Homo-oligomer: A and B are copies of this chain.
Amino acid sequence: MLFMVEMDVNIPLDFDAEEAARLKAEEKAYSQKLQADGTWRHIWRKTGLYSNVSIFDVASNEALHDVLMALPLYPFMVMKVTPLNRHPSAIRDDDT
Protein backbone atom coordinates (compact mmCIF):
# COMPACT_ATOMS: atom_id res chain seq x y z
CA MET A 1 0.00 0.00 0.00
CA LEU A 2 1.48 3.29 -1.12
CA PHE A 3 1.70 6.69 0.56
CA MET A 4 3.30 9.91 -0.54
CA VAL A 5 5.06 11.64 2.34
CA GLU A 6 6.40 15.15 1.90
CA MET A 7 8.99 16.10 4.53
CA ASP A 8 10.28 19.60 5.20
CA VAL A 9 13.34 19.71 7.43
CA ASN A 10 14.00 22.70 9.67
CA ILE A 11 17.05 22.50 11.87
CA PRO A 12 17.38 25.65 14.02
CA LEU A 13 20.26 27.95 13.10
CA ASP A 14 21.82 27.53 16.51
CA PHE A 15 21.50 23.74 16.73
CA ASP A 16 24.76 22.00 17.55
CA ALA A 17 26.49 21.31 14.21
CA GLU A 18 28.09 18.06 15.29
CA GLU A 19 24.84 16.67 16.63
CA ALA A 20 23.12 17.71 13.42
CA ALA A 21 25.74 15.92 11.35
CA ARG A 22 25.32 12.80 13.48
CA LEU A 23 21.52 12.87 13.08
CA LYS A 24 21.81 13.35 9.32
CA ALA A 25 24.14 10.39 9.04
CA GLU A 26 21.72 8.25 11.07
CA GLU A 27 18.84 9.50 8.92
CA LYS A 28 20.67 8.51 5.75
CA ALA A 29 21.53 5.05 7.07
CA TYR A 30 17.96 4.51 8.26
CA SER A 31 16.54 5.68 4.94
CA GLN A 32 18.86 3.46 2.93
CA LYS A 33 17.99 0.39 5.00
CA LEU A 34 14.30 1.02 4.33
CA GLN A 35 14.96 1.65 0.64
CA ALA A 36 16.88 -1.61 0.46
CA ASP A 37 14.02 -3.62 1.96
CA GLY A 38 11.44 -2.01 -0.34
CA THR A 39 9.58 0.02 2.30
CA TRP A 40 10.85 3.40 1.15
CA ARG A 41 10.19 3.00 -2.57
CA HIS A 42 11.32 6.42 -3.75
CA ILE A 43 12.92 9.52 -2.35
CA TRP A 44 13.46 12.74 -4.29
CA ARG A 45 14.76 16.11 -3.21
CA LYS A 46 12.55 19.13 -4.02
CA THR A 47 14.84 21.34 -6.08
CA GLY A 48 16.28 24.19 -4.04
CA LEU A 49 14.62 23.13 -0.81
CA TYR A 50 15.57 21.09 2.25
CA SER A 51 12.51 18.96 1.56
CA ASN A 52 11.82 15.60 0.01
CA VAL A 53 8.98 13.75 -1.65
CA SER A 54 8.93 10.10 -0.72
CA ILE A 55 6.85 7.08 -1.64
CA PHE A 56 6.40 4.41 1.01
CA ASP A 57 5.08 0.92 0.48
CA VAL A 58 3.74 -0.42 3.76
CA ALA A 59 1.28 -2.98 5.06
CA SER A 60 -0.87 -0.49 6.95
CA ASN A 61 -1.25 3.02 8.34
CA GLU A 62 0.24 1.66 11.56
CA ALA A 63 3.32 0.45 9.75
CA LEU A 64 3.78 3.83 8.07
CA HIS A 65 3.42 5.65 11.37
CA ASP A 66 6.06 3.50 13.03
CA VAL A 67 8.49 4.00 10.16
CA LEU A 68 8.07 7.78 10.19
CA MET A 69 8.22 8.18 13.97
CA ALA A 70 11.57 6.40 13.98
CA LEU A 71 13.17 8.92 11.60
CA PRO A 72 16.19 10.38 13.40
CA LEU A 73 15.28 13.85 12.07
CA TYR A 74 11.55 13.49 12.84
CA PRO A 75 11.57 16.20 15.58
CA PHE A 76 12.79 18.71 12.97
CA MET A 77 10.30 17.77 10.26
CA VAL A 78 6.92 18.96 9.10
CA MET A 79 5.12 16.04 7.45
CA LYS A 80 2.34 15.81 4.89
CA VAL A 81 0.92 12.33 4.33
CA THR A 82 -1.17 11.47 1.25
CA PRO A 83 -2.56 7.97 0.71
CA LEU A 84 -2.13 6.76 -2.88
CA ASN A 85 -3.71 4.11 -5.09
CA ARG A 86 -2.72 2.35 -8.23
CA HIS A 87 -3.93 4.59 -11.04
CA PRO A 88 -6.33 2.98 -13.54
CA SER A 89 -4.11 4.23 -16.37
CA ALA A 90 -0.87 2.85 -14.89
CA ILE A 91 0.84 0.26 -17.04
CA ARG A 92 2.98 -1.17 -14.25
CA ASP A 93 1.41 -3.46 -11.68
CA ASP A 94 4.13 -2.90 -9.12
CA ASP A 95 3.27 0.77 -8.82
CA THR A 96 0.15 -0.39 -7.04
With a cutoff of 8 Å between Cβ atoms, the chain B residues found around residue A88 in the complex are 28, 45
Give the contact-size bracket for chain A.
Answer: 35 or more
- 10 closest A-B pairs by beta carbon, nearest first, are A47-B83, A44-B84, A45-B85, A48-B81, A48-B68, A43-B87, A47-B61, A61-B83, A28-B89, A31-B89
Q: Mark A66-96, 1 if CB is under 8 A from B, else 0.
A: 0011000001100101111111111110011
Using known A-B contacts A31-B89, A45-B86, A64-B48, determine if residue A12 contacts B13 with beta carbons closer than 8 Å: yes
User: Does the CB pair A61–B81 fall under 8 Å?
Assistant: no
A contact set with B: CB distance below 8 Å? 1-5, 12-13, 15, 27-28, 31-32, 35-36, 42-49, 52-53, 55, 60-62, 64-65, 68-69, 75-76, 79, 81-92, 95-96
